[in-house]
Structure 1
Amino acid sequence: MVSCNVLVPQLFWFKKARTSFWIMMPVCLLVNVGMWFERFVIVVTSLSRDFLPSSWGHYTPTIVDVMMLIGSFGLFLTLFLLFLRFLPMVAMAEVKSVLPEQPQR
């Protein structure tokens, strides 16, 4: 958790790491994994500890929990790809301005 959220982002001090896609992508993925793991630890430890010592136990995710996690990732990716499909990141006016001129008929 500390390595993903504290140590790995220190690579951004180097210009090559900030400008290279192939270095930036794993660093960003590790930061996201670290942030997700941090929230997972906070939620799971708060749910697994009750105030009564007799009810203390370990939390193990069921198949429903795992499927909800996979489904939420799938829904996010689907909506994100639909967003990119209908509202592209590059404006069509910018693309048309770079195209070579076509002769008028």
Structure 2
Amino acid sequence: MTLPAIDPQRLEEECEADAEVLANLRENGDQPELVRPVDVSFRGSPEALVRLTDRAEEFGFEYIEIEEGEDGEPCLFLAKDQAADAASIKELTITCLQIEQIFGVEYDGWGCELQDGKTE
């Protein structure tokens, strides 16, 4: 599959937002090189979200759930195991922006738990 080009301005905006999250994780002792589940979310029509769910594995994601957001719009959650360093998150963001175009959905961001290398 040929992946679509993404808008450089949109990527820059997403990367700026990502940098804030990454800085917050670092300030709280995160070790970004540690692999952990990173979840992403998309909003869109139920049909578009189901199409994405059916093909999520092609992009390296596992299905978590579709739930109704506060605004009543469905939201799809996917996850993949990866590091949370700047380069890995930028690659994740690029993939999600491409998915957004391919499936006609709206990328709604990513999240993960802090990993400090200490066992609980």
TM-score computed with the length of structure 2 as normaliser:
0.28
The structure that is helix-richer by fraction is 1
Which of the two has greater strand per residue? Answer: 2
- TM-score between the two structures when normalised by the length of structure 1: 0.31
